[in-house]
Amino acid sequence: MQKGTDRLRSQIRNFFLRLNPTPGAEKIVFSGGEQGFHYTIRFWSRRRCVDLHIKNELTGEYETVFEIGYFTLFRLLLNLERTVQYLFYKHLFSKKINIGKLKRHGCILLSLPSNEEEMSVFIKLKNKGKHISIRDDADFSLLTKFLLYPDQAYQTDKREFHVLKYKNGNLLRQGTMIKVKGKNDSTQFVFVTDRDMLGCSREMMYAVYGFLEKQQFKNRDHILRLLMEQFNADRNKKNVA
């Protein structure tokens, strides 16, 4: 357990995000938390394509994950738009919940920082916000100040909450609660379990796979193979559960 916690803490502290909006060299550079590697999404205006590549910072070697044309990417996004709306309603926004139910089950809420002032305790911004990284002195125990009782969700301007339950001396995550704008007090909250999120993301991946299977782009077979491996891994986890 301790090794897993230490690894997660290390991944969080190694995270960074850097934006380069320079015309002709637009890119997004970020770390997945693994030390010694970073990822780059590069937008190539002249070639009219986007690529994702990984750089090994120790050896300087690059590995292209995929390269896809603007037109194909836009078609993918347009094809997914209606699918996303359907899946979000099916798995997420149809799950109404009453605050009283959370109170009866002894749940509390964790609302994560949502503005620059709150986030400044944990992250630092450089180059006018184009470079984001975790502060070396970040004290994640301060997250406790974002804990709320269910009734307080009505008054706060926060929109998204982790739902936690205290059991056997531990806070256990139950899912995510979302405040929906324009609803009255009795129906303005939806509750999404981790299983709901997994089901939504799984169906989304199936939709992406079906579209990409019909397209031609660099490293297409590699991407399809990775997606299929993820499908099989998810299926195995489901069967074990």
Output the CA torsion sign for 127, 129, 132, 134: positive
Residue 35 lies in a domain: yes
Whether 13 and 32 map to the same domain: the answer is yes
* Domain residue limits at 144: 97-122+137-186
Whether 83 and 102 map to the same domain: the answer is no
Query: Which residues, other chains included, contact 42 with Cβ-Cβ below 8 Å and sequence gap of 6+?
Result: 26, 27, 50, 51, 52, 53
181, 190 Cβ separation under 8 angstroms = no
Q: Does residue 30 surpass a pLDDT of 70? A: yes
Number of folded domains in the chain? Answer: 2
Both tokens of 191, joined, read 């509750």
Whether 206 and 166 map to the same domain: the answer is no
pLDDT band at residue 4 using 50, 70 and 90 as cut-offs: very low
User: Which pLDDT value is given to residue 180?
Assistant: 79
Whether 55 and 110 map to the same domain: the answer is no
Whether 69 and 110 map to the same domain: the answer is no
User: Which pLDDT value is given to residue 130?
Assistant: 64
Residue 143 lies in a domain: yes
Whether 142 and 221 map to the same domain: the answer is no
Q: Write the pLDDT tens digit of every residue in 13-23.
A: 667 788 888 88
Whether 22 and 103 map to the same domain: the answer is no
Residue 117 lies in a domain: yes
Residue 132 lies in a domain: no
Residue 221 lies in a domain: yes
Q: Write the pLDDT tens digit of every residue in 92-111.
A: 666 788 888 888 888 989 88
Q: Write the pLDDT tens digit of every residue in 141-194.
A: 777 778 888 988 888 888 889 898 877 777 788 888 888 765 555 557 888 887
Whether 64 and 45 map to the same domain: the answer is yes
Residue 182 lies in a domain: yes
| Percent of the chain topping pLDDT 90 | 2
Whether 60 and 107 map to the same domain: the answer is no
Residue 192 lies in a domain: no
- Half-sphere exposure (CA, 13 Å, Cβ side) for 149? 5
Whether 105 and 69 map to the same domain: the answer is no
Whether 67 and 147 map to the same domain: the answer is no
Residue 62 lies in a domain: yes
